[in-house]
Amino acid sequence: MTSTLRRRPAQRRSVERVERMLDECALLLDQVGYDALTTKEVARRAEVPIGTFYQFFSDKQGLVRALAVRNLEAFLTRVTERIATADLAHWTDLVELAVDEFVEMKRTTPGFAVVDFGEVLPTHGGPPLQGTKRSLDTALDNNVIVADRLRSLVLDLISRTGDVPAGPGLDRALLVAVEATDAVLKLAFRVHPEGDPDLIVETKRLVRRYLSEHLS
């Protein structure tokens, strides 16, 4: 992933300021949406000078990209922690864990409903904002990055559960799985603000079956 910060905070005080700005960005996304989000208001609510904001973020887009990176790291941490305590019979059990954590973050994590892993979704529905499919990396789509980050978890689970090792099609299969999950869960949250339960179940069934059959 390309860097989302103009410079990395070195001191604890700077780290705390950056985190406060990201926190306020997330809250404002839920309250006013992406279009009405302003750097001035983020800085005011985070209680930092606007000059300090621009030390770390180039603009509003840079701020939101940094939030997307933080969201992805939080998601991966949550999934990894679940894996550590779960009794997994097969590596495709990861689908259940990953979907559950994503749905929970959609429901409870500030700003995640508008910007999960980079793509900006309008507050009142409609297509994603153009130009945000490559928020995590200017050269790669967001879902390519997500699939790549999940790859190491999948390989670890394949090793642990003793399943047949996945062949060279793993990268392609994971990307298809992430794209399918993304599409159906978007539908689930358009149908119901908390995510339509039946569509969430269908997402798990669809992706798990695909991975199991494709990579067996």
Instruction: Output the pLDDT for position 203.
Output: 98
Give CA 140 to chain center in angstroms: 15
List of domains in the chain? 68-215 (1.10.357.10)
Helices vs. strands in the chain: H and E counts, helices first: 8, 0
Instruction: Output the pLDDT for position 164.
Output: 61
The single-letter DSSP state of residue 92 is: T
What is 11-54 written as a DSSP string?
SHHHHHHHHHHHHHHHHHHHHHHHHH--HHHHHHHHT--HHHHH
> Rounded to whole angstroms, how far apart are CA atoms 165 and 127?
38
Cβ 29 vs Cβ 110: under 8 Å: yes
User: Helix, strand or coil for residue 115?
Assistant: strand
CA nearest neighbour of 118 among 82, 157, 145: 145
Per the listing, tokens 């992933």 go with 1
Tokens linked to 82? 């679940």
> Rounded to whole angstroms, how far apart are CA atoms 111 and 35?
13
Cβ 38 vs Cβ 80: under 8 Å: no
Instruction: Output the pLDDT for position 213.
Output: 85
Cβ 181 vs Cβ 203: under 8 Å: yes
Instruction: Return the sign of the alpha-carbon dihedral for residues 130, 107, 147, 135.
Output: positive
User: Would you write out the chain's pLDDT as a tens digit for each of its 216 residues?
Assistant: 445 665 676 678 878 999 999 999 999 999 999 999 999 999 999 999 999 999 999 999 999 999 999 999 999 999 999 999 988 888 889 999 999 999 999 999 999 999 999 999 987 667 888 889 999 998 999 999 999 999 988 888 877 776 665 567 888 999 999 999 999 999 999 999 999 999 999 999 999 999 988 776
Counted residue by residue, the chain has a size of: 216
Tokens linked to 43? 């800085």
Contacts of 179 (CB under 8 A, 6+ apart): 143
